Structure formats: C-alpha cells, structure tokens
Amino acid sequence: EIVLTQSPGTLSLSPGERATLSCRASQSVSSSYLAWYQQRPGQAPRLLLYGTSTRATGIPDRFSGSGSGTDFTLTISRLEPEDFAVYYCQQYDNSPNTFGQGTKLEIK
C-alpha cells in the first residue's frame, strides 16, 4: 500500500499569511489521483482539490495544488479564519486508497 506522509504535523500561521502543506508518497502517484480534504473540528471532511490541482465545487481560488510523482503541495494563498483546520491528502491511484496522517493548521 502507498504510504502518504504529510508535513509539517502542525503549522502555526496568522490570518492573511500563506500556507504551504506537503504530502510525500512512498511510491509514485499519478497526479490524476491525488486529492486534498479539509476537516474542521467536529465536522466531516470536505473535498478541496482532486487530480492534484482541480478545485472541487465551491472551493475558493485561494486554495491551489501542485506536484507530481511522490511530492505534492497544497497552498493556501491568504489564510482566512475559517481555513484553520486539519488537512489530509489522499491517493486513489492504487488500491487501497490511502490518506496521509494530516496537517493541523492552527492560528498563531
């Protein structure tokens, strides 16, 4: 199974700053099959990006994704208060599909 390792574990930033979250795969993942989710406390995960860089319905353009092979990045250009949450990457290229352990984005 493909193991996804996210870094950092916790990221402390202020509203208005730029956030860069990393997801590294234990083997190559097609960029067509990499997604990012946001999970706020007590809520269900929400799909942000799929196919590495395509925003899901209703996702603002401050969220962007990039990467290929084993290294992928989620960037939030200007943090809004509602962006402080846990973010997970997921690969659905190989079975079983797997998630990273998450990056917690907290207010500094």
Partner 1 sequence: EVQLVESGGGLVQPGGSLRLSCAASGFPFSLYSMSWVRQAPGKGLEWVSYISSRSSPIYYTDSVKGRFTVSRDNAKNSLFLQMNSLRAEDTAVYFCARTSGNHRTPFDYWGQGTLLTVSS
Q: How far is the CB of 76 from partner 1 (least distance, A)?
A: 19
Q: How far is the CB of 37 from partner 1 (least distance, A)?
A: 8
State which residue, 46 or 62, has the beta carbon closest to partner 1. Answer: 46
Q: Which residues bind partner 1 (CB under 8 A)?
A: 33, 35, 37, 43-47, 50, 56-57, 88, 90, 92-93, 95-102
Q: How far is the CB of 75 from partner 1 (least distance, A)?
A: 19
Give which of 36, 21, 33 is closest to 69, Cα–Cα: 33
End-to-end CA distance of the chain: 35
The β-bridge relationship of strands 63-76 and 54-55 is unpaired
* Whole-number Å distance between alpha carbons of 13 and 89: 20
State which residue, 18 or 26, has the beta carbon closest to partner 1. Answer: 26
